[in-house]
Amino acid sequence: MYLSGSAGDLKAEVNKGLLCVKGYHVGKVLYGADRLTRPLLRKGDRHEPISWDEAIDLIAKKIHAAPDRFAFYGSGQWTIGEGAAANKFMKAGLGSNQIDGNPRLCMSSAVTGFLSCYGVDEPAGCYDDLDACNVLIMWGNNPAEMHPVLFSRVVDRRSKGEEITLIDIGTRRTRTTEQCQHYFEFRPNSDLAIANGIAHLLIKNGTYDKKFVEAHCNFRQLDPAQPANMLGKPMTFEEYRAAIAEYTPEHVEKLSGVPAESIRMLADLFGRRDLRITSLWCMGMNQHTRGTAINCLVHGIHLLSGHFGRPGDAPTSLTGQPSACGTVREAGTLCHLLPGGRSIVNEKDRHSSEELWNVPAGRIAPTPGYHTIAMFDAFCTPDNELPEGGKPIDALWVQVTNPGQTLPNLHKLFNRKEKLTDKFLIVSDVYPTATTRLADLILPSAMWVEKNGMYGNSERRTHQWFKMVDPPGEARDDCWQTIAVAHRLLELGHEGMKDRDGKFLFHIADKEGKEAPIWKWENYYDVNVDKHLFEEYRKFTTYKHKDLAPYDEYVRARGLRW
């Protein structure tokens, strides 16, 4: 019998000792009867156990036979070490950018909003703003159910007698609505009009922050000649005023269904200098059909009104996965990114990354790989049906996510794989899922408390933890799986698995200066692989206005914001 329990850390800055219902009971998930504990290879209609050596050898030979037809798919549930290893393996080892993650499906609008407004994909707000704001606006967001520990900080303020105005702008009532003084229900997609209506009144009434705008803001518009350029082209303040002049409260009411007086109320709040206003949003805006646009407009309201950069004044996009920021966006495990905000298409970024990874010049390919949808489309489409110039994907490795459940258009992007016997799907997971159902090879993985790890959350806070319990059976860390395949490729003669000094791509020296054989499971924890990977990645982080602390500082702290 296994006994398990979870408790919040009273000294933790984020949850202050609280857990949600899921957190209190999550310990039970470690010991389910159907937990995956052995590598399983498909043979006909069955999955049969094989050894880890056989599994690693099979993957390595699949990749070695056609590296350009192999892809890696992960998520914001990768730890920073796991993501850093997968990214290095692909881009600095195989010289391939065919790696992407599921935040492509949920955070792209937030990312392009940050990039187009600030030039860098970084949230400026933090969770402490929830303690300092006078007004909290939820834009299509339901934190009472989706981020209950964070939302409890707001509810706790009320229980202490503090006054805070909560406003829910949404398309349906939720548990969050019940806590709010104001609920404004809009027609789907018309929240853009609401944002423009607020901006229109700020300018018309002269209540925008003139000093802040003059000192810190520029105005830009869509460039018809380059519609894909997210930065657009410059426009004057007067051109901006004219562009939103039609968004009177009455016109916005016709478009959105939100009463004109409510639009005036929102504009009056943003026009007050004595208030601190925080906006929260999550998938309601980020999976919007015009997600980038609404992200930019909400950022724009905060900038125009000067409700930015002070405690309690912040536009904040929340993430759903624990490390969608720290691993996918910051460590760069997307097909177009390199660590630390660098870009695949930028030659200087590629060269600096090659230096930091200590691999030969030219190792990193200059063309982005497939984004998530294109990746699964190429994998689930027979080679003879691909469009001209389309690159096939024959082998796909999925870690820490369940695309067989979560992809859009599953029939086209996933279920077609069932009849494609020449396509090889590798899935690392802890339980059978909709994805393992079609897997050719299933690898049993360790869960978060069964391995060392680090996450980076949506307030730029990095957390570190050490392994607490052993994984069951033959389950093993995802990071070890990646490194073991890399070393088997080295044994098979793949030159990309060597750095410029001729050493193994994931070379780590032990205390005596000898190479630690971390590709062997029995030796993986002889050294702290996580620390080595993080210290290597940390060198990338100074490129765009951030500087992550040394690993040992995170060991001493309960999470640090950069």
Which positions are annotated as active-site residues?
A: 22, 106-107, 283, 320-321
Pairing between strand 165-170 and 182-185? parallel
Tokens matching residue 520: 């062997």
3-state SS, residue 428: strand
3-state SS, residue 473: coil
Q: What gap in Å lies between CA 290 and CA 298, rounded to an integer?
A: 13
Q: What gap in Å lies between CA 487 and CA 356, rounded to an integer?
A: 20
Inter-axis angle of helices 52-65 and 478-491, nearest 10: 60
3-state SS, residue 243: helix
DSSP class of 348: H
CB 323 within 8 A of CB 107: no
Tokens matching residue 69: 């037809």
Which residues pair with residue 47 across a beta bridge? 42
Q: What gap in Å lies between CA 102 and CA 74, rounded to an integer?
A: 7
CB 37 within 8 A of CB 444: yes
Residue 336 neighbours by CB under 8 Å, 6+ apart: 97, 343, 344, 345, 368, 369, 371
φ and ψ at residue 235, rounded to 5 degrees:
-140, 155
Q: What gap in Å lies between CA 112 and CA 37, rounded to an integer?
A: 40
CA 542 to each of CA 464, 550, 562: distance values in angstroms, whole numbers, following the listed order: 20, 13, 11
Cβ-based burial of 447 (10 A; exposed 0-12, middle 13-18, buried ≥19)? middle
Q: What gap in Å lies between CA 535 and CA 285, rounded to an integer?
A: 35
Please report the DSSP string for 263-324 in residue order. HHHHHHHHT-TT--EEEEESHHHHTSTTHHHHHHHHHHHHHHHT--SBTTBEEEEPPSSTTI
3-state SS, residue 183: strand
Alpha helices, DSSP H, located in 367-515: 372-379, 403-406, 410-413, 478-491
Residue 216 neighbours by CB under 8 Å, 6+ apart: 303
Q: What gap in Å lies between CA 92 and CA 313, rounded to an integer?
A: 40
Tokens matching residue 184: 């404004």
Calculate the dihedral angle through the C-alpha atoms of 261, 265, 270, 276, rounding to the nearest 10 degrees.
Answer: -160
CB 278 within 8 A of CB 313: yes
Query: Tokens 């998520």 appear where?
Result: 75
Q: What gap in Å lies between CA 562 and CA 546, rounded to an integer?
A: 6
